[in-house]
Amino acid sequence: MSAFLELRYLSWLTAASTHFNRTFTLVAANDVLLDSSVVKYSPSDCQRPEVLNKNLVEGNILLCGYSFNFVVGTASIKKVSETAKSLGAIGFVLAVENVSPGTKFDPVPVSIPGILITEVSKSMDLIEYYNTSTSRDWTGRVKSFKATDADLLKPDILAPGSLIWAAWSPNGTDEANYVGEGFAMISGTSMAAPHIAGIAALVKQKHPHWSPAAIKSALMTTSTTLDRAENPLRAQQYSGSETVTLVTATPFDYGSGHVTPRAALDPGLIFDAAYEDYIGFLCTTPGN
């Protein structure tokens, strides 16, 4: 799975892009140190290729950290580019984890594809994604840079689906009260699904080059687990006496949360997925 960021969070680094239809694995500099390396400098700065394992970096995207060293001039983006290129990386990502006084982000010519994530919150989102999708052993050493032990969570998302005034076939016989009517008050996933489809169409209209997976990501990552009164969402629960009560909902009720159309149009960080990602996901899902 690959992560993409809207350009307003990035500083331009002038180089050719990676291949549009390919995805690459993200590897953090701190996780590819040579065992024999004696680190006198911050390895996450990606200033010293000799302390990083080329076998683990080659063909991947190198994740580096933008530290205070870049502000004072002891580290440079150009050197990050040179380090990544010398190790055979496809490109690099430079994530700003803290903004220090005097920090400025100017366009920089680089020799391989690279981006600088200038907004701290977006950098942390990417780092969190990397950490949760990277498999480690009990010592903290990386076992695999690809996501493992996948599992399924359904539903994906929650949308309005209770007592929706919707089009109805006059010939329908499901509900005696609506026979011959053109509209009916209906509940269920058949009402929630059109809401999601319509919002997805609006997202596609604004971002015509986004894939279905990217649109799904935008919907899910911008959803909310609070209602309009800012209280936690609640779900119906049937008791032993078949009476319905409301209880605090869980992800098994709402998935990622209730869809938020306006936020979905401008999600910031999105996670895209291609054919190979789905195959990898299915192959690591228990029972497949």
| Least confident range of 2-16, 154-168, 226-240, 260-274 | 2-16
Higher-confidence residue of 258 and 140: namely: 258
79 pLDDT exceeds 80?
A: yes
Domains in the chain: ranges and CATH: 26-145 (3.50.30), 164-284 (no CATH)
Convert the pLDDT of each residue in 130-145 to its tens digit: 887 787 766 677 766 6
DSSP symbols for the chain: -EEEE-GGGEE-EESPPPPTT----EEEGGGSB-TT---SS-GGG---GGGB-HHHHTTSEEEEEE-HHHHHTSS-HHHHHHHHHHTT-SEEEEEE----TT-----EE-SS-EEEE--HHHHHHHHHHHHHHSEE-TTS-EEESS--S----S---B---SSEEEE--TT--S-GGGTT-SEEEE-SHHHHHHHHHHHHHHHHHHSTT--HHHHHHHHHHT-BSB-TTSPBPEEEEE-TTS-EEEEE--HHHHTT-B--HHHHTS-SEEEE--HHHHHHHHHTSTT-
Q: Which residue has the higher pLDDT, 108 or 48?
A: 48
